[in-house]
Structure 1
Amino acid sequence: MLLDRELIVLTTSGHGYAEVDFRPLPCRPGTLLRVRPGQVLRCALPDLDATVVRWHPEALHGLDLTDDGPAWFQLAGEDEDAVINEVSQLTVDARRHRDTPSGRSLLRHQLTVLLLRLSMLPSGSRRAARPEETTFRRFCREVELGFQHSRRVEDYAARLGCSVRTLTRACLTVTGRSAKQVVDERVALQASRLLAATDEPIAQIGRQLGFSEPTNFGRFFTREVGVSPGSFRAARDQRGPGPVVRPRSPMDARTDANQG
């Protein structure tokens, strides 16, 4: 499923895996996932039961909230009690009060409290960022805005006002991969999302991502992912969540750190 809105998924029973952008994430009671718009989510149903919180972006308009907090977290202790209480009350009030102005206001504030609480969960991002990490995050934001139009590291360096060498050094420090690899892996990730979660023709997906010729897109995808676009789509139709090494997201390092 290709998400058009952000989700919070709180596992309530069962053990298994949820797959976010083709990466299997272990889930058991107390596991929390925060899945962003544009990501692909697959869950190992019926092995898992979960409460899902979903909202329209306009619900948070005007609120001072940072897009912070881990994408995967195993709750425990006081954090688990607090988040479960927030989600449980939000669920009850959504059923009882969602159709009244006061009820919608109440739900908006409850959602704000939940997101603020999640932003305070332990995370490696709390420590002071090194210069390379700051540069890497800025680079990732630019890649997110421009990957459909350019795969040239030179273009991103120009936008950030730094050299290609600076970007490459930052990416190698944070991820162990070059700036060019980060860009290409983001393009491959988007291609994988569209192949897995839509019925768009492969050639059209390639054109969306800046490939004028289907053969060029096919060679690029095969190099990055290890299989052809057609084989990837066919395999995704046949199997459930399982280990997939690539494609990677530029922010995988953060998720890996939270799981560790």
Structure 2
Amino acid sequence: MPALIHVTDPMAARLPPEWAGIGSCPLPVAAGAATDLLGCHALVLTVTGRLIAEIDFTQHTCEPGTLLWLRPGQAVRFEKPAAARGRAEQTGPDPDGEVPGDARDEKDEPGPAVTIIFRSGLFAPDELPGLTPDDPDGPAREPLTLPDPDAFRAAFERLARDTEGVPGAAAAALLRHELAALLLRLSLLDPGPAAAGHVESRTFERFRRRLEEGYPHTRRVEDYAAELSCSVRTLTRASLALTGRTAKQVVDDRVALQARRLLAATPLSVAEVGRSLGFGEPTNFGRFFHRETGLSPGQFRARFTTDRPSGIPGQRPPVD
């Protein structure tokens, strides 16, 4: 199993323990932290101070009491607030290495965060009523401001303490029950997209799930339509109704997102990234990527460096 958590201090990378599939870890925050790919689910609760979280290239400022549910495969980076960094850079440290008082703002300094990690497949699809944890379009896809952060903090901290207990069947069952209760509470606060209640919703849901499996192999809407026993027009109508994008645009959006993830967070060459997404020729991949993002793959990758300290997300093995 690959490392799921990279940390900025000499501690070893952390994994959810095999015996339970649930663990906890520190959340290192570093200015200029690298973007990495998350190898497991991570629930991050900010406790004090602001935290900057960049999730799939969208930046979020998380105030105290904000909860993040990060999914496997997402590109994630955690940083100190830019305002605090900017003032520190302008003012400079004092002789003792501390940021001068007028360059500090306690609210801008990243505070503790409680982080729970758990592996994919921990719960069966129908095990939790109305909730499939491994669904990428499930609850809390965006940062969630909790109505009772103290209660959630207590639940997080209790679960984190229990992950450090003596391994065993009873301890594993306890962790599963605690995590299940936490996830169900989140689903009640933010249930995610409405359940499929009409034909177009059901069609798009089937299409979306099949796309998650098929995007590395085909970008042809005709292939997805054939697998789902419907027409291209049906898929396009459903996609437009649910997202405002055509079926072809939905497919290309997913491929482009994965390309950005791999370019930003892995050492794969541009050609290797293209091949992993079904492009036989680097030039074809380059044209596709430029059309979708406005940048060449090299220009996009240049925005990210690999010699910076990593944050929480672990990197998956390169795709052959």
Q: TM-score, normalised by structure 1?
A: 0.82
CA RMSD of aligned residues (A): 2.3
1:243 matched residue in structure 2? none
Superposed, 1:232-251 pairs within 5 Å as: 232-237=300-305
* Secondary structure of residue in 1 paired with 2:48: strand
Looking at structure 2, the residues matched to 128 and 63 of structure 1 have their Cα atoms a distance apart, in angstroms, of: 16
2:277 matched residue in structure 1? 209
Superposed, 1:19-98 pairs within 5 Å as: 19-45=54-80, 47-48=109-110, 49-57=112-120, 59-60=122-123, 64-65=127-128, 66-67=132-133, 68-78=138-148, 80-95=149-164, 97-98=165-166
Whether the 8 Å CA contact 1:11–1:28 is kept in 2: the answer is: yes
Name the amino acid aligned to 2:79. A
Looking at structure 2, the residues matched to 191 and 141 of structure 1 have their Cα atoms a distance apart, in angstroms, of: 19
Structure with the larger helix share: 1
1:253 matched residue in structure 2? none
CA separation of 1:164 and 1:63: change in aligned 2, threshold 3 A: closer
2:250 matched residue in structure 1? 182
Whether the 8 Å CA contact 1:69–1:123 is kept in 2: the answer is: yes
Asked if 1:9 is matched to 2:44, the reply is yes
Looking at structure 2, the residues matched to 159 and 58 of structure 1 have their Cα atoms a distance apart, in angstroms, of: 24
1:257 matched residue in structure 2? none
Whether the 8 Å CA contact 2:274–2:282 is kept in 1: the answer is: yes
1:172 matched residue in structure 2? 240
Name the amino acid aligned to 2:70. V
2:20 matched residue in structure 1? none
Q: Which runs of 5+ in 2 are unaligned?
A: 1-35, 82-108, 309-320
Alignment length, in residue pairs? 237
2:299 matched residue in structure 1? 231
CA separation of 1:58 and 1:152: change in aligned 2, threshold 3 A: closer
Whether the 8 Å CA contact 2:141–2:192 is kept in 1: the answer is: no
CA separation of 1:177 and 1:60: change in aligned 2, threshold 3 A: closer
| Cα deviation, residue 100, structure 1 | 4.5
Whether the 8 Å CA contact 2:215–2:251 is kept in 1: the answer is: yes
Q: TM-score, normalised by structure 2?
A: 0.68
The more displaced of 36-45 and 56-65 is 56-65
Q: Identity percentage over the alignment? A: 49
Higher Cα Rg: structure 1 or 2? 2
1:149 matched residue in structure 2? 217
CA separation of 1:185 and 1:63: change in aligned 2, threshold 3 A: closer
* Secondary structure of residue in 2 paired with 1:77: coil
**Deviation sequence 1:45-94 (CA, Å, 0-9, x none):** 3743421110233644698032342222433334x344322212111222
| Cα deviation, residue 214, structure 1 | 0.5
